[in-house]
Amino acid sequence: MDTIPGHGGKAKPIVLIVDDSPDVHRLLGARLRHEDLQLFSAYDGRQGLDMAHALRPALMLLDLEMPGMDGFEVIRRLKDDPKMLETPVIVLSGLQSPQDKVTAFDLGAIDYITKPFDLMELRVRVRSAIRIYALLEMLAKRANIDGLTGLYNRAHFDSRWAEQVASAQRYDRALTLVMIDIDHFKSLNDKYGHPAGDAVLEGFAEILQTGHRQSDIPCRYGGEEFAIIMPSTAPMDAMPLCERIRQSLAGTTWPRHPERGCTASFGVAGAIHAVNEPPVKWLELADRALYQSKQGGRNRITLIDLSEPPRLAKAG
């Protein structure tokens, strides 16, 4: 799964210091060196913005009075960028007028500390800001996770799928979408109960988690339907992965109903280069391929290649 910027894996949270004074950087580096942080330095507003976009810091410590782009403009541009909107900013400034503070807070700063500052107080405020950021990141991540399977949910799929289609069109890259539906799932629930059905959904999610490549994005699309977004992947290259997943599910024995196995049908839509089709069209074609798999007897894979004239290829 994707890692959280600034908190990926076990990486320490990143704090970006943006100040034109080398003395401030040395002072903060010395006083914060024992904190569980990674410190980075920028010496003007433009450099600070560029580094913020590259690093996605957990916190920015920002001076207001800098040559060229001042701190107010840095905050304004950060908050105008949807990808950087949630970046916390603590202002460290020699400006002490109430109007300057009001302006900074109105623009989106979370705290304002005047120079010269108390270093113990600064450490406490830095810790608090990073803790709040981490909690917000965790909540945002959980909002995109399906509670039963642990896969990304439909909301996350919708946003990532639109991004991937746009990226494939912009950079002329291959892209493949896989839609998967567990066969006869309703009858499984009706005969063995919903706990048995939930166990199958969880088990299939584990198969997807262990079987997909790092670049793939497996999601629970809804109910017993799943999706895999496969960036930079030609449709024919997606077929072996789908086949491994299909065989793995078909070969699984379920403790609640060992006498009854489970299978899934697959619909694959992809292209080896950019195609001028909106995200919804790809979904329609993947659903059409999935329907063909169902109509053809289930437990099989059907491919529609958007790079070529309409045709269907079946496997499984």
Query: What are the Cα distances from residue 52, in Å, to 23, 83, 247?
Result: 21, 11, 45
- The tokens 């491994």 sit on which residue? 244
224 is a catalytic site residue: yes
Please tell me which residue in 86, 137, 202, 224 is annotated as part of the active site: 224
Q: Are 16 and 53 in contact (CB under 8 A)?
A: no
Residue 71 buriedness (CB in 10 A; 0-12 / 13-18 / 19+): buried
**Active site (catalytic) residues:** 224
